[in-house]
Structure 1
Amino acid sequence: MVGRNDGWADVSGEDWQDYDGIRQRLDRGADPDAWRGGLPLHWAASHGSPQVVAELARRVADVDALEEEKGTTALWEAVLSGRPDNARALAAAGADPWRIQIGGWSPGRLSLAGPVPDLFALPAGQRGLTEAERTAVREGRRLVAVLGDIRYEGTGLACVAGIDAEEAVRRLEATEAESRALDGLLVDPYAYDMDESLRIVGVTSVPGGCVVTQPWGYAPAMPGPLARLSAGTVCYGLYANPKSGNQGSITRDGGIERGGLHPGGPPYPDSTAQEVLASYLCRYNAVAHSCLYAGLRLTDARAVVGPPDLWVRLPQGDYWSR
């Protein structure tokens, strides 16, 4: 008897593009409904070719089977991954574009916000995008284009809605950093003691609010600064951790609303509708994701990579608590 995962040994991402190879595995007894890395159809939908997707869809027990951890269908993965040809192959095999999944979105409705909005015909009774969502789509695309391919690894950000740089400095109780102290720090911040370098942040007013940045550390994304900055408004905090990837949080009116987020990555099973849309529009761009969620309309990357409007020094304190 063929074991549940037999036949898929050593399959990697590129192998899902190899129609002949995948078909041969299936003919030899590979289980179309099980693989150690998840459901084969889901992996093919996000990594494979339309031919592989169609072959697997023909053999699976349920083309709309839900992946256990995320609770999404293969069609959702195809749309989210920007694979319209795979999505078409799944729909042709009977997958339901309008099945509600994360954050109240269906694959079909989410595709309306993507580069191929006519991927599926909108049936009677299904609502299209709201005006707010259409605005977010335009702004998300604009932000991704404006920010371009900036390098932000190791950067900490607080994207703050509704206040300018002057108000941010007041809330942080910060003072202007001395130019003498900045000269060396900006050349090689890692040569300085971390307790000292973490206290220096940049602050810049942008349309819709302001950005607090630290290109060498995580200070703006710590709970203390976010709590102070978010009084009466909302902040999206980002630390682009070089070791573990992008770490995000949403702080509203002084309290952490959502933590442990991964801006620029796929949505979590419990993501809100707004988070799902930001994830879809700003895939692989954590800075654009953070700015879009906070409603900041940057016109260039200066607020993130510098030079900021003002370099300031934070007072000494425990910034890991609110």
Structure 2
Amino acid sequence: MAATDDVRWWGVNDWTDLNLVRAELATGADPNSDVPVFEKPLHAAADRGSPEVVAELATRVDDVDAENRGRTALWMAVFEGRTDNARALVSAGADPWRPMMAGWSPGRLSLAGPTPHLFPLPSPDAGLSEAEAAAVAEAGRLIPALGDLYYDGLSLACVADVSATEATARLEAAPADDVDIEALYEAWWNTPDADLIIGITDVPGGCVITQPWGNTASTPGVIKRVSPGTVCYSMYANPKGGSSGDVARDGAVITAWEPCVAYTVPTDALAEEILAAYLYRGHPVAFCCAGADLRLAHAGPIIGSSATWLRLPKRDWWT
């Protein structure tokens, strides 16, 4: 049966099911057409499918290196750590060193990950720069240092090159010596003005502002006030909607960020932004720390175990 525009992979939710994919192809689904969420079948399989499905689709498409939203299926597989899928694509003729995404070909990207020898280098100078290698090494140190911490409901601001004393002054905050912090952890919802209590800790490279029970530490009013002359990476781990945050620069410019997967890395992102997205995928707390170049040795400042506790003045912290 010939492929038609009317048959567009509606029956495939599991890209690891080779029989299901073959059945869809047999009914006329086009291996080159979009699936319902506007991605290509080979890209979807490379991202979250099995090597068997990847190999099947790779023999059916017109171009195994066709790009979708600025990246090939092989780039997707490498970004998501699907090394078996990457190998299947290369076996089908995909080019690991095809230039894309601010110079991050699939091959160069793999050099920053856990399988740097996934593809043979095309030349001795195709490796990482000194700065890129340093960023990879820091991610390899920072993520284990923070450990597997529980952070649902937590907000965080990582401020570069600003001490806790200076940040406290910028926020016009006062010591919260009258607050029982342990009781606040247990029942913050029953504590008046709990949203105004934050923790702050000096760390190598700057300071960390945290609120383990709410979003105040990541609000625009906080991050704008602490960021003049520097940068602040913030996040809120919303138990109902995942983690996201903002980057404030020099007290004014705020840019939103969300944890990246292979499809959400902006095609116009800078090279260092793409590398950070890759290194810290699934680790939003470490992403914020690294963005502000804070070199934490443990998670104490994040969860507030080493914090000085402050009370913010009453004002609209969302402006």
Uncovered stretches (5+) of structure 1, i.e. residues with no partner = none
Alignment partner of 1:263 is 2:262: no
| SS of match in other structure, 1:240 | strand
Q: Answer yes or no: is the 8 Å Cα contact 2:11–2:24 preserved in 1.
A: no
Q: Answer yes or no: is the 8 Å Cα contact 2:231–2:247 preserved in 1.
A: yes
* Aligned counterparts of 1:274 and 1:160: Cα–Cα separation in 2: 19
Change (3 A) 1:126 1:44: farther
Shift of 1:199: 1.1
RMSD (CA atoms): 2.0
The answer for the alignment partner of 2:230 in structure 1 is 233
| SS of match in other structure, 1:188 | helix
| SS of match in other structure, 2:126 | coil
| SS of match in other structure, 1:290 | helix
2:217 counterpart letter in structure 1: P
Shift of 1:125: 7.5
* Aligned counterparts of 1:5 and 1:307: Cα–Cα separation in 2: 58
Alignment partner of 1:49 is 2:47: no
Q: How does 1:63-78 map to 2 (within 5 A)?
A: 63-67=64-68, 70-78=69-77
* Aligned counterparts of 1:2 and 1:89: Cα–Cα separation in 2: 24
Change (3 A) 1:175 1:86: same
The answer for the alignment partner of 1:102 in structure 2 is 101
The answer for the alignment partner of 2:210 in structure 1 is 213
Shift of 1:301: 0.9
1:306 counterpart letter in structure 2: G
2:241 counterpart letter in structure 1: S
Q: Answer yes or no: is the 8 Å Cα contact 1:5–1:31 preserved in 2.
A: no
The answer for the alignment partner of 1:160 in structure 2 is 159
Alignment partner of 1:224 is 2:221: yes
Q: Answer yes or no: is the 8 Å Cα contact 1:7–1:31 preserved in 2.
A: yes
Shift of 1:126: 5.3
Q: Deviations over 1:47-88 (max 9, x none)?
A: 112121111011111212222xx3221111100100112112
| SS of match in other structure, 1:250 | strand
Q: Answer yes or no: is the 8 Å Cα contact 2:4–2:28 preserved in 1.
A: no
Shift of 1:300: 0.9
The answer for the alignment partner of 1:303 in structure 2 is 301
Shift of 1:124: 2.7
The answer for the alignment partner of 1:201 in structure 2 is 198
Q: Answer yes or no: is the 8 Å Cα contact 1:275–1:293 preserved in 2.
A: no
Q: Answer yes or no: is the 8 Å Cα contact 1:249–1:256 preserved in 2.
A: no
2:198 counterpart letter in structure 1: V
The answer for the alignment partner of 2:290 in structure 1 is 292
The answer for the alignment partner of 1:145 in structure 2 is 144
Shift of 1:184: 3.4
**Aligned match of 2:247 in 247, 250, 270?**
250
Sequence identity of aligned pairs in percent? Answer: 50
Shift of 1:289: 1.1
Length-normalised TM-score, structure 1: 0.90
Q: Answer yes or no: is the 8 Å Cα contact 2:12–2:21 preserved in 1.
A: no
Q: Deviations over 1:228-286 (max 9, x none)?
A: 21121111111112222211221111122522x11364523333222211211111111
* Aligned counterparts of 2:45 and 2:275: Cα–Cα separation in 1: 23
Q: Answer yes or no: is the 8 Å Cα contact 1:158–1:213 preserved in 2.
A: yes
1:218 counterpart letter in structure 2: N
Change (3 A) 1:5 1:212: farther
* Aligned counterparts of 2:102 and 2:291: Cα–Cα separation in 1: 15
The answer for the alignment partner of 2:22 in structure 1 is 23
Query: Larger deviation: 112-121 or 181-190?
Result: 181-190
1:211 counterpart letter in structure 2: V
Shift of 1:292: 1.3
The answer for the alignment partner of 2:169 in structure 1 is 170
Shift of 1:2: 4.5
The answer for the alignment partner of 1:113 in structure 2 is 112
* Aligned counterparts of 2:124 and 2:23: Cα–Cα separation in 1: 43
Uncovered stretches (5+) of structure 2, i.e. residues with no partner = none
Q: Answer yes or no: is the 8 Å Cα contact 1:75–1:107 preserved in 2.
A: yes
* Aligned counterparts of 1:271 and 1:189: Cα–Cα separation in 2: 39
Length-normalised TM-score, structure 2: 0.91
